[in-house]
Amino acid sequence: MKKCLLVLLVVITAIPLSAQTVHDTIRHVSNFKAGELIMPLSLIGAGTLGFIEPVKDSRYEVRDFLQEWRGDHRVTVDDYLQYVPLASVYGLSLLGADAKHNYVDRTLELATSYVTLGIVVNAIKYTVREPRPDGSAFNSFPSGHTATTFMGAELVRIEYGDDSPWYSVGAYTIATAVGVLRVYNNHHWFTDVFAGAGIGILSARIGYWLLPYTRKAMYRLTGCDAFVCPSVSYEGATLGVVMRF
């Protein structure tokens, strides 16, 4: 989580801002749709079933089966793979994909989403204090890695899903792989992963729903529009800058 926060801070300070007119910048339209609560809340609900029988017993059965099958083998790729969808929120547009929002809006979405995720995940972790399956700590529920990567995957879907559904498929495939590896490596119960995925998706959607309000707040604080447009091609890279006060 600390690594992700550091990455986010670097992105916020380094990613180019994107142009809009003043009216576009301060437009105030709600993006909220109640139906979009169904999937994340269902996943979170599935995760909480791990505290009741017989699901609680099945967690131990899955852990013991994997431990016997896996032996001492571990992989660490999930520690890095969790950030791939987050990087794709910016990286895909640099490679030519058509994002729904500009760099400023995507940064606001990501910042709001990550703050929401950090508060929710850590509040639950250190309130519930569920022991990890390997016994290493008492902060297993929910999975922070899974929450982070599913947040990124959902932001990719929001931003690039209209351009091509394969961006969403790719991002969610990576996120699913991270969740599976958290269980495989004996760091989390499978129910932790369900809850983490739900929280990640919900956090991303909150970032999107609140975008009109965070955009308006940013304009009130800064009083200006800034447009820094990066362009990457076979001939090289260019950077354009426009400011409007």
The structure tokens 């909480």 sit at 48
Q: Is the per-residue pLDDT at 120 higher than 80?
A: yes
What pLDDT sits at residue 29?
A: 55
pLDDT class for 32, splitting at 50, 70, 90? confident
Show me where the domains of the chain are located: 2-244
DSSP structural state of residue 210: T
| Chain centre distance of CA 204 | 6
Q: Phi then psi for 225, rounded to 5 degrees?
A: -100, 140
Instruction: Indicate whether 197 pLDDT > 70.
Output: yes
The token pair at 22 is 């003043």
> Residue range 42-48: average pLDDT?
97
**Residue 138: per-residue pLDDT:** 97
pLDDT at 223 over 80: no
Q: What is the pLDDT of residue 219?
A: 83
In three-state secondary structure terms, 22 is: helix
Over the stretch 13-28, which tens digit does the pLDDT of each residue have? 333 333 333 334 344 4
DSSP 30: -
pLDDT at residue 157 tops 70: yes
Q: Note if the pTM is more than 0.75.
A: yes
pLDDT at 225: 54
